[in-house]
Amino acid sequence: MGDRRKPIFVTGGASGLGREVSRYFASKGWFVGIADINPDGMAQTAAMLPAGQSSIHLLDVTNREQWKQALADFTATTGGKIDVLFNNAGIGSGGAIQDMDDSDIDRQIAINLTGVINGIRAGFEYLKNTPDSCVLNTSSAAGIYGVGGLSVYSATKFAVRGLTESHDIEWRELGIKSRSLMPGFIDTNIIGNIEPGSNQTGKEKLESAGIEVSPVEIIGPAAWQAVHGKKVHTTVNKMAKQLAFAARWFPGRLRNQRTGLVEGLETIVSSGT
């Protein structure tokens, strides 16, 4: 690819994992397309990056026409190329499925799953025309084994995992890699929804149960490794690695967890497997 500055397009770039991956790739000299529904957050992310190394794109990932426009605007400055499309935008809320609002269920599926599909379809031609390109999708440790109290969120992340694996097969001959990040709990706004109605934050609830909440700074190197490595799925932090190990070798232990999110994961993580 010569001296061409590599472009990465990041959804959910106004905060959290998207902001951190934007920052990390920009530090490596990449040009970053920051996409989100939050203009102020995107401006804050852009201010963290070197001057002239980013562009901002208002994007609701559930809107296919906005996807087309955002990628057309982005690639107008990248010579029609996208080296990495990072489908990261996502939301999470918990609770028993019978108690969830229909609107919450529909919104999680629309953003976490349909939004990823929309991005993949909108970006396909640009990726196909970029040598050794990559789609990077944010899945989750909740996509390794189902999590009580987060069933809809977990289901969307399993679906993203399946998309990633299928496209790794489908696109191999086209020179497009398909990869996923599978983080455990990361210190971002999303964990605030883990325990609605509690007087503790999600982070406090998890940490009081002995469950690791990792700093967001770990996600940049993990994304870099995922894009440049050979693994289809990259587990991020100790908890995700332990859960992947347990799901493979001790699935009965996971199935026998009848308690909620924190209590069930506490037993698994503290077991050292």
How far apart, in whole angstroms, are the C-alpha atoms of residue 225 and residue 134?
12
pLDDT band per the 50, 70, 90 thresholds, residue 271: very low
CATH assignment of the domain containing 52: 3.40.50.720
Q: Say if 1 falls within a structural domain.
A: no
pLDDT greater than 50 at residue 28: yes
- Average pLDDT for 87-110: 92
pLDDT greater than 90 at residue 246: no
pTM, rounded to two decimals: 0.85
Q: Which of 173-177, 211-215, 219-223, 265-269 has the lowest mean pLDDT?
A: 265-269
Q: Say if 72 falls within a structural domain.
A: yes
The confidence score (pLDDT) of residue 5 equals 87
For residue 244, the enclosing domain spans 7-270
Q: Say if 2 falls within a structural domain.
A: no
pLDDT greater than 50 at residue 197: yes
pLDDT greater than 90 at residue 256: no
Number of domains in the chain: 1
Q: Which of 39-43, 184-188, 193-197 has the lowest mean pLDDT?
A: 193-197
- Kindly report, residue by residue over 202-243, the tens digit of the pLDDT: 555 655 555 667 677 889 999 999 999 999 998 886 665 666
Phi-psi region of 146 (alpha: psi -120 to 50; beta: other; left: phi over 0): beta
pLDDT band per the 50, 70, 90 thresholds, residue 3: very low
Q: Say if 196 falls within a structural domain.
A: yes
Q: Say if 243 falls within a structural domain.
A: yes
Q: Which two tokens stand for residue 78?
A: 């990248």
- Choose from 71-75, 136-140, 251-255 the range with maximum mean pLDDT: 71-75
Q: Which CB contacts under 8 angstroms, 24+ apart, belong to 263-267?
A: 263/209, 264/147, 264/148, 265/147, 265/209, 265/211, 265/239, 266/209, 266/210, 266/211
Q: Is 145 a catalytic residue?
A: no
Q: Say if 15 falls within a structural domain.
A: yes
Higher pLDDT, 43 or 249: 43
3-state secondary structure the chain: CCCCCCEEEEECCCCHHHHHHHHHHHHCCCEEEEEECCHHHHHHHHHCCCCCCEEEEECCCCCHHHHHHHHHHHHCCCCCCCCEEEECCCCCCCCCHHHCCHHHHHHHHHHHHHHHHHHHHHHHHHHHCCCCEEEEEECCHHHCCCCCCCHHHHHHHHHHHHHHHHHHHHCHHHCEEEEEEEECCECCHHHHHCCCCCCCCHHHHHHHCCCCCECHHHHHHHHHHHHHCCCCEEEECHHHHHHHHHHHHCHHHHHCCCCCHHHHHHHHHHCCC
Q: Say if 108 falls within a structural domain.
A: yes
Comparing CA positions, the residue from 178, 54, 72 lying closest to residue 117 is: 178
The confidence score (pLDDT) of residue 209 equals 53
pLDDT greater than 90 at residue 196: no
Which of 24, 126, 145, 153 is catalytic? The answer is 153
The confidence score (pLDDT) of residue 269 equals 34
Q: Say if 97 falls within a structural domain.
A: yes
- Choose from 185-194, 222-231, 247-256 the range with maximum mean pLDDT: 222-231
Higher pLDDT, 144 or 12: 12
How far apart, in whole angstroms, are the C-alpha atoms of residue 238 and residue 183?
9
Share of the chain above pLDDT 90, in %: 63
Q: Which residues of 152-171 are buried (b: 16+ CB within 10 A; e: fewer)?
A: bbbbbbbbbbebbeebbeeb
